[in-house]
Structure 1
Amino acid sequence: MSTIRKVFRFILCATVFFSAVNSYAQESTTGSEVSVLTEKSPSGLFEEYKHIPKTDYAENEKIKNFGIMYGLQWGVYLVTQWETIEDNGSFKNWINNPWHPDYDKDTYDYNIFKHAYSGQLYYQFYRSRGYDEVTAFYWTIASSMAFEFTIETVTEVPSFQDMYLTPVLGTVVGVGFEKLSFYYHSKKTTPYRLLGYIFNPFTLLPSSHYGYVAPIVSENFKGVNVSWSFE
């Protein structure tokens, strides 16, 4: 029954999060925010998807993006660590633990895979909001530090390993997953597109900066057809 509750809480959290991101994205989308271009690959065998960073941001937009990710971090933490919070968590920990970082005792594979996966989600989220690679990396660091020092401290002290493994390995994995996702989406078949969504779930957002772009590829012209709807 405990597992069923975890799954239910996770689904609820994911639904609320994606609804919030989608609603915010629709409010902040403008005609200058195209970030995906399609063109023929050098081999000419498929259309290649690329990311074009945004150049203009609305006032406080980056802070709002950070806030969305921070809210998701709290939601996932509460969903996945509820029993641990009940057993070991306290308000006193939340106040005192940030001042006593240490090396955690987690196994090597747990540190590598868990934190690389978390970090690549941070990275892909910021990329989906139009950030270039370097800026997405910086904000991945910020989100990682926010989790270590203001969320996970409810139950444990910040981990030195997590401070660098999450943003660094996460960005490396995120870059690779993004390229795989774009490649699979370019194949334009349902199985491949499903893989594209698996490797980058943020492409599921219809108004993310990966969306609303239809390729136009011909012998004489390469470009994109962009459309927006106003309600």
Structure 2
Amino acid sequence: MIRDGQSIISILRDKIISGEFSAGERLAEIPTAERLGISRTPIRIAFRALVQEGLLEKLPRRGYQVRNVSSAQICDSVEVRGVLEGLAARQVAEAGLNQTTQDELLACLAAGDALFEDGKLVEEDIRHYQNMNMRFHDLIITASGNTAIKSALALNEHMPFASVNALAFNPQELTREYRRLHYAHMQHHAVYHALVNGQSARAEALMKEHAHATLAYSDLFDKKSAKTVSKKS
């Protein structure tokens, strides 16, 4: 059952990544809503969110279109995000964390730890992880006090997975996703310790590496494009 707006976004995102919605395919609110058995309003909201993530583009008149994006373009954008977030982490480590931000980062770590306690994930856990992950990253960007970094990240988010809130996962392989996300969360812990200990170079390097966890899905876009060409030939 589709429970909330975030679930709808995840479902549509997965259909795009898998190629069920192929590159260049036009999508409209009503047919998509009927296909998923839900009302039109949450589809409209989800489409807008996926435009922000770079997976869809708004057509001039009505409707949306699945973007045709290569893995190389995604890699470039993720590389940029890693550099920007790494710079933010370095500046935070150099300036020092205030107690409020430190407590909020610890709360994120505790929330993430709780998700992995049982040694497995269910789909609902993914949404909670995503919320925690977004909060963790936002805290570091804000703590840097560097508005240019925030602006540059916003400009970079037009590409799929360049935004930290665009978390892709495969619900058919939750065991594999558990390992992937658990590893990413251990990176959160390492980043936190580098920040509180003033290890600026280490904090920067860890954030760059952390961004690259996204790249596990980048090659799917080349495979999807190949499928699209095959369909048309």
Same fold (TM over 0.5): no
For the pair shown, the structure with the greater C-alpha radius of gyration is 1
> TM-score normalised to the size of structure 1?
0.30
| TM-score, with length taken from structure 2 | 0.30
The answer to which structure, 1 or 2, has the higher relative contact order (CA under 8 A, 6+ apart) is: 2
Q: Which has the higher strand share?
A: 1
